[in-house]
């Protein structure tokens, strides 16, 4: 979704916004997005714990 889509959604009434949110949640909960959701959750946990790589660590890990 781009910024224009979000502006259009904001113009809808509350009931229609809730319908869109409901269907988006259904799509995101499908199995094909499960791995992506797990990856995002794992990355958020790492960030919360401070387990992040800095720029140099990333390049060193890639041996570039």
pLDDT, one tens digit per residue, over 2-34 is: 666 778 888 899 999 999 989 888 887 787 778
- Residue ranges making up the domain that contains 42: 3-62
For the purposes of burial, counting CB atoms within 10 Å of the CB of 16, is it exposed (0-12), middle (13-18) or buried (19 or more)?
exposed
More confident residue, 32 or 49: 49
SS3 for 12?
coil
Read off the pTM.
0.43
- For position 9, what pLDDT does the model report? 84
Number of domains in the chain: 1
């Amino acid at each position: 979704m781009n910024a224009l889509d979000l502006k259009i959604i904001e113009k809808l009434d509350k009931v229609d916004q809730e319908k869109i949110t409901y269907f988006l949640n259904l799509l995101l909960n499908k199995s094909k997005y499960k791995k992506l959701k797990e990856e995002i959750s794992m990355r958020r946990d790492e960030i919360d714990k401070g387990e992040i790589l800095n720029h140099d660590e990333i390049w060193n890990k890639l041996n570039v």
